[in-house]
């Protein structure tokens, strides 16, 4: 490509709010045939809220107080949702000691001499708890594309909280544009399969990988590249940085973390997924002009 046509393309993309930080990304973007999207903060708004509280013993206030006691020590978006909900309902967070955040699992601490845990099914089951009694409440949450978080104190299961994050208003339309351009769209998330399935169905995503640990997102990118795809990764979080760097073209959501932005070739200033098909269209037009 001539430096001139690339400059024009970079300028055109910038008009759409897609800031191209690495010059060759503009040319590669037109060749993409797979776009991998992070879920939280990328497809969804990234501001989850508590949508339901289900206590085994019927004391929702107490359950919230304990959950907030744990989550007030965490910086995860899920934690913020729980702390805010407790505040709204005047549930004073209980004093939890020895706080620990466990990647891809949940949070833990000590309360009244016993371990207290809040997190996903897989982890609590691995800790020896049976969650069978909460299956109905769990399904009601996942059907609404929410994330179920289970709370246990010692060996006692206390209940389940539903936390949901709204899908961005234009995510579905942007995904449709990618399909129209002949591009396959995949989602990769640390969240569970049932929730990932619901989000995929609502937005038209072709395929998803769920329960992917933060450090394993880049493996999914590498796997798809080795299958012959030219892969874009789109993400906002610290844990997306290695996947952004491993992809052919990384797109960081502009409102995301600095680490994500530094690892990506393109920054989407408008935070909307439309920036991805915009950049691809500009790239294809630019490359066509060169030949």
Residue nearest ligand ADP (C-beta atom): 190
Q: Choosing among ligand ADP, Mg ion, none, which partner's interface includes residue 37 (Cβ < 5 to 8 Å by kind)? A: none
Cβ(194)–Cβ(146) below 8 Å: no
Q: Are strands 207-209 and 231-235 parallel, antiparallel or unpaired?
A: unpaired
- Which residues contact ligand ADP (rule: CB under 6 A)? 39-40, 71, 74, 76, 78-79, 101, 103-107, 118-120, 147, 149, 189-191, 214, 237
Tell me which of ligand ADP, Mg ion, none is bound by residue 106, counting a contact when its beta carbon lies within the kind-specific cut-off of 5 to 8 angstroms: ligand ADP
Comparing CB distances to Mg ion, the nearer of 116 and 233 is 233
Q: Which does 120 bind (CB under 5 to 8 A by kind): ligand ADP, Mg ion, none?
A: ligand ADP
Partner from ligand ADP, Mg ion, none contacting 283, C-beta within 5 to 8 A by type: none
And the tokens for 225?
A: 């590249």
Nearest Cα residue to 65 out of 132, 112, 130: 112
Question: Which alpha helices (H) appear in 44-192, and where do they start and end?
Answer: 60-71, 77-88, 121-126, 135-143, 171-180
Whether 38 and 288 have beta carbons less than 8 Å apart is answered as no
Residues 6+ apart with CB under 8 A from 35: 178, 183, 184, 185, 186, 231, 232, 234, 276
Site string for Mg ion, 192-231 (x = CB under 5 A): ----------------------------------------
Closest distance to ligand ADP from the beta carbon of 10 (Å): 31
Residue ranges binding Mg ion (CB under 5 A): 38, 40-41, 236-237
Residues labelled as active-site residues: 38
């Amino acid at each position: 490509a001539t430096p001139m046509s690339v400059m024009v393309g970079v300028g055109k993309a910038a008009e759409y709010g897609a800031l191209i930080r690495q010059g060759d990304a503009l040319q590669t973007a037109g060749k993409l045939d797979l776009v991998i999207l992070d879920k939280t903060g990328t497809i969804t708004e990234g501001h989850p809220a508590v949508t339901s509280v289900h206590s085994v013993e019927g004391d929702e206030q107490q359950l919230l107080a304990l959950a907030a006691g744990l989550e007030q020590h965490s910086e995860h978006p899920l934690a913020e949702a729980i702390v805010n909900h407790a505040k709204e309902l005047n549930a004073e967070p209980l004093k939890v000691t020895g706080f620990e955040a466990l990647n891809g699992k949940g949070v833990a601490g000590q309360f009244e001499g016993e371990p207290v845990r809040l997190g996903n099914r897989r982890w609590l089951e691995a800790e020896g708890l049976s969650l069978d009694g909460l299956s109905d409440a769990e399904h009601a949450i996942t059907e609404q594309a929410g994330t179920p978080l289970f709370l246990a104190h010692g060996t006692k299961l206390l209940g389940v909280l539903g936390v949901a994050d709204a899908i961005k208003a234009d995510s579905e339309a942007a995904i449709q544009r990618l399909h129209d351009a002949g591009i396959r769209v995949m989602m990769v998330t640390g969240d569970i399969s049932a929730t990932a399935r619901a989000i995929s169905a609502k937005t038209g995503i072709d395929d998803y990988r769920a329960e992917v640990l933060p450090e394993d997102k880049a493996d999914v990118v590498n796997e798809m590249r080795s299958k012959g795809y030219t892969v874009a990764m789109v993400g906002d979080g610290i844990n997306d940085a290695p996947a952004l760097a491993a992809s052919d073209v990384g797109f960081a959501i502009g409102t995301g973390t600095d680490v994500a932005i530094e690892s990506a070739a393109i920054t989407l200033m408008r935070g909307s997924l439309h920036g991805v098909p915009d950049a691809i269209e500009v790239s294809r037009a630019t490359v066509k002009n060169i030949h």
